[in-house]
């Protein structure tokens, strides 16, 4: 059996041989742990600030503050790519459209279409398609709405808008097919009435 002195000497030798590596490992471990906690805290703080700033943007847009549009665009630029930036863009688009500033509305929605994914992008696709349709920019409206056609939960409204655009372009066969797709996706859709209003093919 090893004596206490021998055990101590073994510990000393082990520490001599591996001590630097152990210390380095501990330092890295602590750095990673506390670094992650710091990063996590910073992320939470940033999200809270974004949430607060976003709420202020919405309040300004709702109140039709003269500086609301500029504030919203600055927020979108400073937080580019974030969910809050996308939401701010949607709010800006709605406010701009209400005031008749369709160019700003279309531009804000385009920023969401370019950067967002999933439902947020589909919402921007649909809203931009409606605005472009109202301006009789039919090809651009079709491109926007077709981007949302495959998104679950948006098929019916996308197909209905597509039908509206095609009908305006004089493509009754295409409009009929689009309205049929809309009704198939949502039997209670207004597309059913629009479908019935199209003259039967001769």
Q: Would you state the structure tokens that stand for residue 181, as one six-digit string?
A: 């797709």
Cβ proximity of 131 and 109 under 8 Å? yes
**Residue closest to 154 by CA, chosen among 128, 131, 122, 181:** 122
Q: Residue 60: what are its φ and ψ, rounded to 5°? A: -65, -40
How would residue 200 be classed by pLDDT, with cut points 50, 70 and 90?
confident
pLDDT, tens digit (0-9, with 9 covering 90-100), for 118-131 = 999 999 999 999 99
> Residue 59 corresponds to which tokens in the numbers above?
């309040």
As annotated, the residues of the chain forming the CATH 1.25.40.10 domain(s) are 136-202
Task: Output DSSP code: residue 194.
Answer: H
pLDDT in tens, 36-50: 565 565 666 777 787
> Distance of CA 194 to CAs 40, 160, 183, Å?
52, 9, 10
Determine the pLDDT at residue 2: 46
| CATH architecture for segment(s) 136-202 | Alpha Horseshoe (1.25)
* Average pLDDT over every residue of 104-131: 94
């Amino acid at each position: 059996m090893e004596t206490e002195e021998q055990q101590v000497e073994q510990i000393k030798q082990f520490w001599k041989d591996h001590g630097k590596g152990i210390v380095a490992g501990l330092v890295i471990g602590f750095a990673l742990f506390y670094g992650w906690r710091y990063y996590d805290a910073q992320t939470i703080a940033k999200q809270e600030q974004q949430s607060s700033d976003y709420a202020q943007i919405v309040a300004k847009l709702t109140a039709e503050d003269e500086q609301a549009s500029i504030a919203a665009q600055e927020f979108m630029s400073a937080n580019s790519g974030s969910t809050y930036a996308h939401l701010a863009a949607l709010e800006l688009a709605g406010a701009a459209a209400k005031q008749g500033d369709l160019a700003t509305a279309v531009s804000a929605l385009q920023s969401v279409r370019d950067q967002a994914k999933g439902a947020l992008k589909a919402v921007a696709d649909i809203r931009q398609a409606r605005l472009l349709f109202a301006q009789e920019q039919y090809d651009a409206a079709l491109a926007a709405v077709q981007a949302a056609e495959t998104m679950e939960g948006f098929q019916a409204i996308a197909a209905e808008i597509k039908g509206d655009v095609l009908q305006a372009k004089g493509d009754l066969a295409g409009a009929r097919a689009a309205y049929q797709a809309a009704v198939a996706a949502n039997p209670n859709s207004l597309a059913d009435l629009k479908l019935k209003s199209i003259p039967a093919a001769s």
